[in-house]
Structure 1
């Protein structure tokens, strides 16, 4: 029987306090857990730098007194849940300093908390952004080790701020069995609320037969399973090399990412992956990217799955608003009768610049397409319905 993630986090935090009080080395604990899963973290030369950041997050827990905890638990004015946020510790930025033709932004936890306060965000559900663990293409041991470190880092932040953050698990696809093992570890041991995957894995989209066993196994696990799909850099595999597949002179991160979302959603749909595995719910960023404008055109060519597909998009798909998507774009999604109960709020911070954040927030607040109650649902209630007791609200 699976334990709820909120209970797992409480147990983990209590265990952490015991660990801190007994002065047990956090690094040793993480190494021992990895060794138990046949993962060698020392294949990553930056391992000591990562552990310094993780240890620092854990030390923050022991430094907080009761008054500080009480202050953190006061809801922010708008009580907003950000369902699309990222963390970028310095060690990760050094590892992958640019993505999609854009520099990876600087980030600190203080920056994150200040941003949340300024935007009225009480809780953020975050993930490491693209490429996640897929920095070392074709290098299995390093990919598996990096996925574990990303999850341990994310868990450390969540345990330091348990009423402010939750996280999605990183998994080392295309290595299916190791990815499933890592997902179980991250969710059952570290308290992850879902699984993060990117739109293509080394040039292969998510509906490919090689990923069938991954989705099939996740689908078999008890309780609602949540998969968060993030756009990746488009590539084409030529022999043993991956070639940048952006066919235009425009920056991939500002244009092509939205078509990446469309490609992988089309692939998941036409392969009927989303039809066959009914226990999986999907979080889709940027209210679907370029996909809503193509859905009728694509699906009318496959009439046998037309109605069933829209039923899935309306019940097991959750569409976040990251970016300036509520000025006009969301109307296209609503044109397919996607219920407003499936909409989530997201910021994409810190990858989305701070400058447009206020406008994006106001666009939701001022949208004539939604009632006040529906806006409250977008900002919080819908997220509560999606995640349920995976989060200690």
Structure 2
């Protein structure tokens, strides 16, 4: 037998063996997802798109296997930016949530996200699904709990496909507190989540609501530094047991109301002393705090007993990302309330903030006269490393 023929046969056998192993790995991943959910009393089969999600997870698993077998590592980007506010939008989720904050939910693929990072000089990122996350099915516990688990399995799969580039925030199925605690523990200890993402309001209740206190207490008792990423959501009010949109303007909520939502929930967390009572929890606040810096004095000066202690928390356990064009003027509001520059983070909000607006936001930080060169480097990279650690 000719040597070239023998080598071809051996290569084919090796490829076939690798394919079999890959297929077995993929099958075992799906089986493990179903088994782990069942052990937590979560029935994933209540979601009629389960097979679609498992297929997407399998695709990410295949990519991870290919990268592992080839020994390839991601090439660091020249700017070494650490993006702490960015989103995944798999096609099945866009079908489920065609609009976000009154705007069309954007198209997205894993490969397009990698390309975006390369063009912007972003080396690492922390992912999350955007609002409403698992809260698509208002008032339907089984569906909400199942969707939270699938969302987390999906995001974890993307991170495992490229572990030198991605971390993720996990979703929990609030308002169902007991189930949210179970999901947080699973995501943090089994899936490797870096933190938990909560919406500014959950079915009309803001985060300082007493019904959520057991969740904060449980998270605080996990030990170590726990990270909560607070993402704005559509404002709603309850009218005769029905949730009704509370956007009072003609403009999409995502364009205006999201920033007031951030202020509302931060004030609720502060006035209920939630941020004071659970000292292991650190908070990542998007959009440079939204409307919060402009409102904090007026609200807290009426509660002098909380004023100083609240600012101590804001300036030590709160971290503020720049998602959106916030470094033209808005960032001065945070500096005006003496937020340390060491607590400032960089975020893109991609793909909800499209690629076309990103160069301007990046340039605004680079050209700002409010920061030294070292402080700008910290905003882009080292502050996030201090919060999230290495990869």
TM-score between both structures, scaled by the size of structure 2: 0.93
CA distance in 2, matches of 1:105, 1:22: 34
CA distance in 2, matches of 1:18, 1:234: 49
Residue in structure 2 matched with residue 339 of structure 1 by the alignment: 340
> Which stretch shifts more, 152-161 or 25-34?
25-34
Residue in structure 2 matched with residue 128 of structure 1 by the alignment: 129
Give the conservation status (yes or no) of the 8 Å contact 2:345–2:383.
yes
> Which stretch shifts more, 236-245 or 145-154?
236-245
CA distance in 2, matches of 1:228, 1:301: 27
Alignment partner of 2:52 out of 49, 67, 73:
49
Q: Deviations over 1:280-338 (max 9, x none)?
A: 00000001001101111111111111111111110000000000000010011101111
Where does 1:28-43 land on structure 2 (aligned, <5 Å)?
28-43=31-46
CA distance in 2, matches of 1:148, 1:133: 9
Corresponding residue pairs, total: 372
CA distance in 2, matches of 1:28, 1:106: 29
CA distance in 1, matches of 2:273, 2:22: 48
CA distance in 2, matches of 1:21, 1:355: 39
Q: Secondary structure at the match of 1:64?
A: helix
Q: Secondary structure at the match of 1:172?
A: coil
Residue in structure 2 matched with residue 8 of structure 1 by the alignment: none
Residue in structure 2 matched with residue 81 of structure 1 by the alignment: 82
Q: 1:25 to 1:374 in 2, by over 3 A?
A: same
Q: 1:19 to 1:233 in 2, by over 3 A?
A: farther
Where does 1:298-337 land on structure 2 (aligned, <5 Å)?
298-337=299-338
Shift, 1:356, TM fit: 1.1
Q: Secondary structure at the match of 1:243?
A: strand
Shift, 1:353, TM fit: 1.8
Q: 1:68 to 1:313 in 2, by over 3 A?
A: same
1:148 aligned to 2:141?
no
Residue in structure 2 matched with residue 62 of structure 1 by the alignment: 65
CA distance in 2, matches of 1:295, 1:64: 48
Runs of 4+ residues over 3 Å off in structure 1: 17-25, 65-68
Give the conservation status (yes or no) of the 8 Å contact 2:236–2:246.
yes
Q: Secondary structure at the match of 1:252?
A: coil
Give the conservation status (yes or no) of the 8 Å contact 2:67–2:161.
no
CA distance in 2, matches of 1:196, 1:255: 21
Where does 1:82-97 land on structure 2 (aligned, <5 Å)?
82-97=83-98
Q: 1:162 to 1:355 in 2, by over 3 A?
A: same
Q: Deviations over 1:168-211 (max 9, x none)?
A: 01100000010010011011000000000000000000001111
Q: Secondary structure at the match of 2:365?
A: helix
Q: Deviations over 1:66-121 (max 9, x none)?
A: 66623x1x310010000000000000000011011100000001110011001100
Shift, 1:27, TM fit: 1.4
Return 5+ residue gaps in structure 1 as ranges: 1-16
Return 5+ residue gaps in structure 2 as ranges: 1-18
Q: Secondary structure at the match of 1:57?
A: helix
CA distance in 2, matches of 1:364, 1:77: 17
Shift, 1:64, TM fit: 2.6
Residue in structure 1 matched with residue 352 of structure 2 by the alignment: 351
Q: Secondary structure at the match of 1:253?
A: coil
Where does 1:193-204 land on structure 2 (aligned, <5 Å)?
193-204=194-205
CA distance in 2, matches of 1:30, 1:309: 41
TM-score between both structures, scaled by the size of structure 1: 0.92
Shift, 1:239, TM fit: 2.1
Q: 1:68 to 1:349 in 2, by over 3 A?
A: farther
Q: Secondary structure at the match of 1:69?
A: coil
CA RMSD for the aligned pairs? 1.5
Q: Secondary structure at the match of 1:38?
A: coil
Where does 1:94-113 land on structure 2 (aligned, <5 Å)?
94-113=95-114
CA distance in 2, matches of 1:20, 1:300: 61
